[in-house]
Homo-oligomer: A and B are copies of this chain.
Amino acid sequence: MLTIQEREIAQKMQTLKNASGSHSPSIFTIAKEIPQIHIDIDACFLSNPYATSLFMDYIQKELIDSKKLRDILEFYPSQNAIISQYLSQSLDIEQDCIFVSNGAIEAIQAILHNFASNKIIVNIPTFSSYYEFVTPQTQVIYYDLPKENDYKLCIESYIDFVKKHKPQSVIIINPNNPNGDYLPLDSMREILRNLAEVENVIIDESFIHFAFENADFTPISYIALFKEFHNVILLKSMSKDFGIAGIRAGYAIMQKSKIDKLLKNGYLWNSNGLSEYFFRIYGTKDFRDKYEIVRKKYIAQTQQFFNDLAKIQGLKVYPSKANFALLELVNGVKSSDFVIKMLLKYGIYTRTCNDKIGLNGEFVRLASRTKEENSVILNSLKDLFGGINKAR
């Protein structure tokens, strides 16, 4: 599939990828290291671009036009326990159950190191930090999501597996990354009812704003489950749904005693001026109302994109209620070649899943971007795969 020149660039990309561990090199890094590559669309990037525009409108009006940006960058941000008060307003939960973090990744590290250093069950395929950031003494047990069931979690089989292994902790990402499978609230409740003996049930709901259980895309909150089950730890990145990965905003919800332990010897000033600013406006109804509009608009476009993708020959699109879809290349194309071809021929950066443990086959993860970008992605894929739609 690749020309000699393309293969050389593929080699350089592989070197960058190796240096990035089990994550994609950033587009800044690629631009710096391989100047031949011009990325027009970053479809690795799991982020609602309309929400970014909304945030930028606030920044322009409230910080730049009003000359308040300097204050945000010059002075110390508030401490963790102060910023959690803003979040308390938007999340309808007590402030002392909220741990504000420098991106969700900091909360993941904090939880794995402080509360989950014994036996832990991780479902695969998954977000790699969940097994990479464990402590040296942690025993990781993998639960294989079955390919024959589109990598969906089967509640009964999962509960049996957990009961058999008796772990200290389990992790469920919902919707799951990289396949986007969504476990409805009632199913999650059913799991929790059966896992009372597990010390920590860590639920990563970083993609929950893209999920829906009805046609109105009514917001779903797992905070209800935290209130019902004492062993739940909720984790949330704001990077994806709010499109603000660069400001590093995340949080975790857990029992007050755990928060106390974390704040007792660290994490005091882990927010920055702009993440504090974000959490402050997220506490306002004005922002949340505007956000709801761009959230629903993006879900509708994303689901339409996935439907259109599914019509392209050579691709299997796994059902997703996240803002990305797992694509299986079922026409003999290797995913690493596909990624390079998309990059060099169309300027579209996609995520190979070669390095994801628990996937068997040639997989790529594709993010939903703006409507216009999704359209370019669709046309490029049709072009690449011969333009023939599946007979349906």
Interface residues of A (CB under 8 A from B): 19-21, 23, 26-29, 42, 45, 47, 49, 52, 55-56, 59, 64, 69-79, 81-82, 102-103, 105-106, 109, 112-113, 129, 132-136, 239, 243-248, 265-275
Contact = CB atoms under 8 A, between A and B. Distances in A.
Given A29-B78, A56-B69, A135-B265, 10 more contacts: A20-B79, A45-B76, A74-B246, A77-B248, A102-B248, A105-B270, A112-B265, A136-B265, A247-B272, A248-B272
A243 B273 CA distance: 13
B273 A246 contact: yes
A29 to B, nearest CB: 6
A268 B75 contact: no
Contacts of A112: 265
Contact of A272 (B55, B71, B79, B274): B274
20 contacts: A19-B81, A21-B79, A55-B73, A59-B69, A75-B245, A76-B239, A76-B246, A102-B248, A102-B272, A103-B269, A105-B266, A109-B265, A109-B267, A132-B265, A133-B265, A133-B266, A136-B265, A246-B274, A248-B270, A272-B274
Contacts of A268: 21, 23, 105, 129
Contacts of A267: 109
B73 A265 contact: no
A106 B272 CA distance: 12
A82 B125 CA distance: 27
Given A106-B270, A134-B265, A275-B272, A74 B26 contact: no
